[in-house]
Chain A
C-alpha cells in the first residue's frame, strides 16, 4: 500500500444521509457530503486536503446505506479506482446511529499505519496535514487536535452573567501547544470542573470558549486500542477527547509518583540535573578548602535553591514531553495531547454545520481573497468566476467574489453580488441575487430578489417573488409576488 510508506492513513467521517437536521431542508434527498460548495461536493474538500498531504488512499465512512450508495457512486466517477494518480477511496458503511468514535472503531482493523488522520467530511481547510502529521510524530504525541478560532466571540452573544451556550471549553497551556482540558456540551453548563493536578502540573492554563474543534484529529495507533477497550465512548468530541485529557493526567501523575518513589533523581530531567550539578559544585568547593568537616551537600536549601528564581529551561521540567525519556518506548508512556491552533491570517479553516455556515463557507470559497484556492478554480480579471457557457443578458452584472456555473442564463439587468450560483441557473430580467447560494437549476423569475438565502436544486421563484434569510428545499416553487422572510420552505413529504 502506498500510503503505508507515508506512515499515516486518512479517514474521512462523511456523516449521514439526507435527514440531516441542521441542514434541512437543503439536504433532503442529498447526503450532506454531496451538497455543493462553490459548485463542488462538500466531500471533495477533505479529500483534496488528504491528497494534498500525499495520501493515495482514504477511508470514507458513511452512515446509512442510502447515503453510502450516493457517495460511492459519486466517488466512482470522480476518483475512479483504476487510475493511479488520483486518491483511491474505500467507502465503509456504518449504521446511522453510530457516533464518530463508533465509526472509527469499525475501521480499526483496517488501519495498518502508526498514525491516522481523522477528518470530518464537512471540513474545509488548507492547513497542510502532512506538516501536522510530521509535528505529531516528532513529538510522539498521542493525539493532535486542530482547533479553529471562532469568528464571532461567544461572549458577545451571551448575556452577562449567563454561561454561553454550545461552546467547547478548551484548556491549553500557555504556549498553546498542549491540550489540557476539553469539555464540550451543546447546552449551557454551570460549572467547569477542572482537574486541579493538571493546573498544578503546568502552573497555568487558559480555558477558551472561542476555539472550536475543527474535527481534524491525528491519532496514534494506540488510541484504537483505547477505543476498543472503552466501548462506552461513542463520540470523538464528546467522549474521547475528555476521556483522553483525563487519562493523560493520570499518566502524568503516575509518572510523577514513580519519580517520587525513586530516591535517585531521574537523570533526564533538567531540573534534577541542575541540582546534581549544584551539589557537585559545592562538594568541589569543600575539597578546595580542605574542609571535610561539613558535609557540604547537606547544606540547607542546596536542593532547591536553583529552582528558586530562574525560569525552567524552555519546555523543561514542567513540560511533560521532555519528562519522558526520549529513548523510552513511546507506547508505554504515551506522551501528550497536542493541539494545532489555526491562525485565520495564515490558513483557512471552516466547517459546514448549519445554514449560516453553509452560506458563509460558499461565499468565502468563492472569494479569491479568502479561500478560492481551495476549490481549485481560477478567478477572472474581475475576481469572479463565470463559466464560459453562461449567457449574460444586457447589463447583467456579476460582482467580484461570485461564482456562476455552467449553462446558466442571466437575464437583462440582473445583478449578482457575493453569491454562488450553480449550473443551469435561469435569472429573469432585473433579478437580484445577494449573499445567497443557488444550487443547480434554480429558476428566478423577473424582478425577483434573493437575499441572504439558500435555494436548493430546482427551486423556482415566480415573478416579483422575494426571499430574504430563507432556506428553500429542493424543487420548491415560490408563487409570484410573494415575499418570504426568515423562513424554511420545503415540500411536504408525502
Chain B
C-alpha cells in the first residue's frame, strides 16, 4: 500500500513511530503459523494494543505499522479496532505491507524507499509492553541531535538488578560499554550464556576509548528494551549497508565499528518505569505475570484501557484481592479456588473444585470439574474437561483438552488441537493442527531467525528462504478469502477453503500457512466426539497420536536444531538454571594486552591457551594471514620490494606493528624448511614445502635442517630486516621463535612441528646474528629478560647460554675499549 501524498507533507512536524509488527524470529512457532505474534492475546488483549496504546499515550501522532507475515490479518484487525481512521483515538495508524520481507533490516530499507519518514522517529517492535514516558528520552535525543547531527540513535535500556531477571526474559546476555558522561554507546556485544562451553573469560576493551574520555562504564546488567529513537539517517544507513539484517547485531555493531563515519549511538537508561518486549515464550510468561502484578500500570486489566478490536466490546475487568481480575459474567463456583495473579475473561464457566493460580483464561472457555491450572495461558473458546491438569502451558483458541489429560510445563497447544482423554503431554511439546514441514524446518514463512551468538537456528540459505516465501505467498493468495481472525469459524469456512488444499492433494502436505481444512474438520469431529466417515478426507488425516493421545488431534512440532527449548520455555525456569557459575579454570590472567610482547610471551601463556579454544583467536587469524601472504609471495616469486608492499598492505589493513609481521614471516621461513603443516599440506602452497623433513634425531638431520634454514634465511634476510625496525621488534621475534620451538601459544596444535628447531636453537640464533637480522643488543636484552623468568621458561635460554656468554664477552671487550677512549 503506497503512502498518501498528503501524509508525507505533514510528517515533517508530527511525532512519528514505526512499529514493526513482525519480529522476524520463529520462536513462537507453531502458533505464528496461523496467527501473527502481535495479535496473540497477552492477558486477553492482543499484544499490538499495548504498543499502540503506549505510543498514543506518549503523544505520538502517526504510527506506521510495518506488516509482513499475515499482513492481511493485521490489516483486518486494525481496520476493526479503535485505531481505524476517524476512530476513537487521535493517533493515525497506517499500515505498510511487504510480504517479501525477512528481516528488520529489509523492513527499514523498504520504509526508506517509500520515503515516508522525514524526521526523527520512534522505532519499536509490535510486542513492546511499556509504560515509560518517552518525553525525557526524546528530549535527550533531540538535545544531542541539535548539538551533533551524528547522534543518530538513542536506545532505551533498562538495568536488571539481578541476573535472574534477564533469564526471566529469555534474553541474551549483552555487554555494553558506555561513556558515563554522555551515555554514548561504545561497545555492544552479545555474550554467550555464562557457563557455556565456548564462553570466553575475558572481554577486550579497546584502550583507545580512553583517548576521548577518562572513564568508561562496562555493564552486563543492561537489557535492551527494543525501543529506539532514530534519526532518518538510520534508515539511510540501512539502505547503504544492504547486508544489515538485525537491528542490534548488524546495525549497532556496524555503526560502532565504523567510528570514522562519526555516527554516534546513545543509551537512555530507564529507571523505575516498565519496558519489555515479548520476543519469546519465556518473556510471554514473564510479561503476562508482570501485567497481572501491575508493574505495567496503567496497562493492567482492571483499568480497561486496552480493548480488543472488532466486535469484542468493552472489557469489564474488576480487581479483587490478590491480583485477581474477572470480567463480568464469569462464573466461578464457590468450591473453585482462585489463587493470586489470575485473569478470567467474560463468559467463561468453571466447574466445581477447580484451582487456578498465576494464569490467564480467555473469554467463553468451558472448564470442567476439578481442573488445576497453574502458570498457564488459556485463550478464548477453549474447552477443558474434568480433572485436567495444566501447568506452565499455553493453550490457544478452540483447543480442546479431554477429561483427565495433563499438560506438562512448557507445552504449547496451538489452535484447535485436541488432546485425548487421560493423555499426558510431555514437557516442552509443541502441538499444532498444521503439519510441520520436515526438511524445511529452518525455513520460515513469516518469521526468519538469524543465528545469534549462541546459534539457535542455522539461518538457512537465502535461496531456500525465498522458495518458502514464494510458496507461502501462493498459498496465502489461494487462501485469501478464507481467513478469519478468530479461529471460531473454521467450520463455516470449510467450503471456501476446499480450494486451498492443493498442497495436500499434491501429496506434499505443505500446510504451513494454515492447517489443512481436512485436519481442522477432523479435529472438530474428534472434539465433538462425532464419528469420522470412513473413506472421507478427514479419515485420511493421520494425527500424531503418540503426542496428542488416542482420541486427540494434532501434529507435533519439533524445535529446530539448536533451539534452546528450556530457555525460551513458557514454563518458569528452575532456580538451578538461574545460578551462574563460571568455572574456575577459565580465569587465567587479565590485564593489558598490547604491544609489549614480553608480557605476552611470559605471563599470558595461559591466556593464549584459553583463546586457542575459541574459534577466532585474532592472533591465530593474523598469523595465518601473514603466513598466507608470505607464501603467496614466495610462490609468485615476487621481488623483495613487492613482497614488502604486500605485507605492508596487510599490516596497515589490520593495524598491526612491524614486529607482528616480522615474527610470523620468520616462523614461516622456519616452517618452509620442514614438511608442510596440515593447513598448507594440500592446496597451492604445498609445493613450497619439502616433501620430507630431515630426520632431526640424527646429527646429520640437524645439520641438514640448519643448512636448509640458512639458505632460506639468506634469501629473506633483507625482508626481515625491513620489518625489524628496532631492537624491541627483534626481541619479539626471538620470543616468537621460542614459542614456535616449544609449540606454545598460537603454535600449539598448529602442526608446524616447530620442536624440530629446539635442538638447533643456538645455531639458529647464531645465523640470525651473523646475517644481521637480530642485533647483539636484542639478543642480550632477550637473555636479560629471560633471566628473571620461571625455570620452565628458561629452557631455551639455557640452550643458548653459551652463545649469549660469548656475545657478552665480546661486548665487554667492546665496552672496555670504549671506556678507554672516553
Contacts and interface: CB of A to CB of B under 8 A. Distances in A.
B590 A308 contact: no
A285 B357 CA distance: 12
A462 to B, nearest CB: 30
Contacts of B375: 299-301
A194 B203 contact: yes
B207 A271 contact: no
Interface in B28-75: none
B162 A317 contact: yes
A175 interface: no
B206 A190 contact: yes
A291 B357 CA distance: 12
Interface in B205-251: 205-208, 210-221
A194 B594 contact: no
A158 interface: yes
Contacts of B574: 303
A210 B289 contact: no
Contact of A203 (B202, B205, B220, B286): B220
Interface in A156-206: 158-164, 167, 169, 171, 181, 183, 185, 187-197, 199-200, 203-206
A242 interface: yes
Interface string B586-616: 1101111111100000000001000000000
Contact of A207 (B164, B205, B790): B205
A321 B217 CA distance: 22
Contacts of B257: none
Interface in A284-306: 285, 289, 291, 293-294, 299-301, 303-305
A164 B409 CA distance: 54
The range of chain B's interface size is 35 or more
Interface stretch (A117-125, A127-135, A253-261, A416-424): A253-261
Interface stretch (B469-477, B575-583, B798-806): B575-583
A376 B735 CA distance: 53
A307 interface: yes
Interface in B747-766: none
Interface residues of A, number: 71
A158 B591 CA distance: 21
B573 interface: yes
A191 B205 CA distance: 5
Nearest to B593: A191
B180 interface: yes
Contacts of B428: none
B295 to A, nearest CB: 6
A312 B161 contact: yes
B456 interface: no
Interface string A115-154: 0000000000000000000000000000000000010011
A289 B357 CA distance: 13
Nearest to B162: A307
A81 interface: no
Given A246-B589, A308-B162, A309-B295, A207 B215 contact: yes
Contact of B214 (A200, A208, A260): A208
A326 B391 CA distance: 41
A2 to B, nearest CB: 39
A95 to B, nearest CB: 14
A60 to B, nearest CB: 26
B165 interface: yes
Contacts of B220: 196, 199-200, 203-204
Contacts of A197: 194, 201, 582, 586-587
Contacts of A107: none
A480 interface: no
Interface string A309-321: 1111000011000
Interface string A253-287: 11011011000000000010000000000000100
B336 to A, nearest CB: 11
A249 interface: yes
Given A205-B217, A209-B210, A305-B289, A189 B593 contact: yes
Given A163-B211, A208-B215, A301-B375, A189 B594 contact: yes
A380 interface: no
A250 interface: yes
B483 interface: no
Interface in B339-375: 339-340, 355, 357-358, 372, 374-375
Looking at A185, A193, A194, A250, which has the most chain B CB atoms within 10 Å of its CB? A193
A232 B200 CA distance: 26
Interface in B262-314: 285-286, 289-290, 295
Nearest to B789: A232
B109 interface: no
A271 B788 CA distance: 48
B175 interface: yes
Contacts of A293: 355, 372
Contacts of A169: 207, 210, 592
A304 B584 contact: no
Contacts of B211: 155, 158-164
Contacts of B339: 285, 294
Given A154-B214, A232-B790, A304 B592 contact: no
B581 A311 contact: no
B392 interface: yes
Contact of B207 (A164, A210, A256, A310): A164
A447 B623 CA distance: 65
Nearest to A197: B582
A187 B596 contact: yes
Given A164-B207, A260-B581, A185 B201 contact: no
Nearest to A286: B339
A303 B162 CA distance: 13
Nearest to B576: A260
B199 interface: yes
A245 interface: yes
B134 interface: no
A190 B595 contact: yes
B279 to A, nearest CB: 17
Contacts of B214: 150, 153-155, 208-210
Contact of B201 (A190, A196, A271, A303): A196
Contacts of B295: 309
Contact of A181 (B582, B586, B590): B590
Contact of A194 (B161, B212, B218, B259): B218
Nearest to A252: B582
Nearest to B657: A190
Contacts of A232: 790
Contacts of A191: 204-207, 592-594
B337 interface: yes
A467 to B, nearest CB: 29
A196 B593 contact: no
A309 B583 CA distance: 28
B486 interface: no
Interface string A365-392: 0000000000000000000000000000
A291 B336 CA distance: 10
Given A155-B213, A204-B221, A188 B578 contact: no
Contacts of A183: 590-592
B211 to A, nearest CB: 4
B572 interface: yes
B159 A203 contact: yes
Contacts of A196: 175, 191, 199-203, 220, 582
B368 to A, nearest CB: 16
Given A162-B208, A209-B210, 4 more contacts: A163-B208, A193-B202, A196-B203, A206-B215
25 contacts: A150-B214, A155-B212, A163-B206, A169-B207, A192-B206, A192-B592, A196-B199, A197-B194, A199-B218, A203-B160, A203-B220, A206-B217, A206-B218, A210-B215, A232-B790, A234-B788, A245-B590, A254-B584, A294-B372, A299-B375, A300-B392, A301-B289, A303-B575, A308-B168, A309-B295
Query: Closest 5 interchain pairs by CB?
Result: A203-B221, A163-B207, A300-B375, A300-B572, A210-B214
